[in-house]
Amino acid sequence: MSRVVELARLMQGNEAAAEGALAAGVRFFAGYPITPSTELAEIMAERLPRLGGKFIQMEDEMASMAAIIGASLAGVKSLTATSGPGFSLMQENIGFAAMAEVPCVIVNVQRSGPSTGMPTAPAQGDVMQARWGTHGDHPVIALCPSSVREAYDLAVRSVNLAEKYRMPVILLMDEVIGHLRERVVLPSPDEIEIVNRRETQEAPADYYAYRADETGVPPMANFGTGYRYHVTGLAHDETGNPTNDPDKAESLLLRLHDKLGRNLEDILIEDSRSLDDAEVVVLAYGATARPARQAVKEARRQNIKAGLYRPLTLWPFPTASVDRLARQARTIIVPEMNLGQYRIEVERTVRGRASVVGVNRVNGELIAPGEILQAILEVVK
Amino acid sequence: MGDRTELRLSGTGGQGLILAGIIMADAAIRDGKNSIQSQSYGPEARGGASRAEVIIGDEEIDYPKVTNPNVLLVMSQEACDKFASDLASGGVIIADSTYVQELPAVDGQICKLPISQTAREEVGREMVANVVALGAVARITGVVSRAALTEALMARIPRGTEEINRKALELGWQLAEQGSTGVL
Please state the rounded mean pLDDT for residues B156-163.
96
The upper half-sphere exposure of residue A262, i.e. CA atoms within 13 Å in the direction of its Cβ, equals 11
Interchain pair A368, B63: CB under 8 A: yes
Mutate to test the interface with A, among B17, B22, B38 (most CBs of A within 10 A): B38
Q: Enter the DSSP assignment of A197.
A: P
Of A164, A191, A218, the residue that ends a domain is A191
In a domain, A248, yes or no: no
For A2, nearest residue in chain B (alpha carbons): B32
CA A95 to CA A70: how far, in whole Å?
Answer: 14
In a domain, A118, yes or no: yes
In a domain, A237, yes or no: no
Residue ranges of chain A whose pLDDT lies below 50: 1-5
Per-residue pLDDT band at B1 (split at 50, 70, 90)? very low
Query: How many independent structural domains does chain A possess?
Result: 2
Q: What is the pTM of this model?
A: 0.95
Instruction: Give pLDDT, residue A6.
Output: 57
Q: Which domains does chain B have, with CATH numbers?
A: 4-182 (3.40.920.10)
Check whether residue A281 and residue A180 sit in a common domain: no
Least Cα separation, residue A73 to chain B (angstroms): 37
First to last CA, chain A: 48
Query: What are B9's strand-pairing partners?
Result: B52, B73
CA A220 to CA A208: how far, in whole Å?
Answer: 9
Nearest to A146 by CA among A319, A302, A282: A282
Per-residue pLDDT band at B181 (split at 50, 70, 90)? very low
Instruction: Give pLDDT, residue B32.
Output: 94
Name the amino acid, one letter, at A372: I
Count Cβ neighbours within 10 Å for each residue of A93-119 and write b for 16 or more, e otherwise.
Answer: bbbbbbbbbbbbbbbbbbbbbeeebbb
Query: How far is residue A185 from each of residues A3, A25, B164, measured CA to CA in Å?
Result: 10, 20, 32
Check whether residue A135 and residue A41 sit in a common domain: yes
Full DSSP string of B107-170: SEEEEEE-HHHHIIIIIS-GGGHHHHHHHHHHHHH-SS-HHHHHHHHHHTS-TT-HHHHHHHHH
First to last CA, chain B: 27
Please state the rounded mean pLDDT for residues B104-122.
95
Nearest to B69 by CA among B82, B81, B54, B49: B54
Question: Domain holding A294: CATH number?
Answer: 3.40.50.920
Query: What are A108's strand-pairing partners?
Result: A82, A172
Please state the rounded mean pLDDT for residues B115-142.
97
**C-alpha angle with apex A299: A297 to A300, nearest 5 degrees?**
65
Note whether A243 and A236 are within 8 A (CB): yes
Q: Which helix (H) or strand (E) holds A9?
A: strand A9-12
Share of chain B above pLDDT 90, in %: 86
**Residue among B25, B32, B62 minimizing CB distance to A181:** B25
CA B144 to CA B167: how far, in whole Å?
Answer: 18
In a domain, A316, yes or no: yes
In a domain, A159, yes or no: yes
Instruction: Give pLDDT, residue B45.
Output: 66
What residue numbers bound the domain in which A97 lies? Answer: 3-191
**Residue among A1, A35, A183 minimizing CB distance to B34:** A183
Residues 109-168 of B with CB under 8 A from A: none
**Residue among B36, B43, B67 minimizing CB distance to A120:** B43
Please state the rounded mean pLDDT for residues B109-116.
96
Check whether residue A21 and residue A130 sit in a common domain: yes
In a domain, A88, yes or no: yes
Instruction: Give pLDDT, residue B180.
Output: 53
pLDDT tens column, A215-274: 999 999 999 999 999 999 999 999 999 999 999 999 999 999 999 999 999 999 999 999
Per-residue pLDDT band at B183 (split at 50, 70, 90)? very low
The upper half-sphere exposure of residue A16, i.e. CA atoms within 13 Å in the direction of its Cβ, equals 30
Of A191, A224, A259, the residue that ends a domain is A191
Contacts of A166 (CB under 8 A, 6+ apart): A101, A102, A103, A197, A217, A218, A220, A259
Check whether residue A55 and residue A169 sit in a common domain: yes
Chain B residues within an 8 Å CB radius of A173: none
Check whether residue A88 and residue A178 sit in a common domain: yes
In a domain, A243, yes or no: no
Mean residue pLDDT across chain B:
93
Nearest to B52 by CA among B115, B80, B10, B83: B10
Question: Domain holding A92: CATH number?
Answer: 3.40.50.970
Query: How far is residue B48 from each of residues B11, B12, B22, B78, B94, measured CA to CA in Å?
Result: 9, 6, 20, 10, 20
Interchain pair B37, A180: CB under 8 A: yes
Q: What are phi and psi of A163, to 5 degrees?
A: -70, -40
Check whether residue A171 and residue A284 sit in a common domain: no
In a domain, A219, yes or no: no
Chain B residues within an 8 Å CB radius of A290: 62-64
Contacts of B2 (CB under 8 A, 6+ apart): B57, B58, B59
Residues 26-45 of B with CB under 8 A from A: 26, 29, 32, 34-43
For A364, nearest residue in chain B (alpha carbons): B40
pLDDT tens column, B44-102: 667 788 899 999 998 899 999 999 999 999 999 999 999 999 999 999 999 999 999 99
Note whether A280 and A333 are within 8 A (CB): yes
B41 or A284: which leads in pLDDT: A284
Strands B108-113 and B91-96: parallel
Sign of CA dihedral B42, B46, B50, B55: positive
Least Cα separation, residue B20 to chain A (angstroms): 13
Of A165, A191, A217, the residue that ends a domain is A191
Least Cα separation, residue A147 to chain B (angstroms): 9
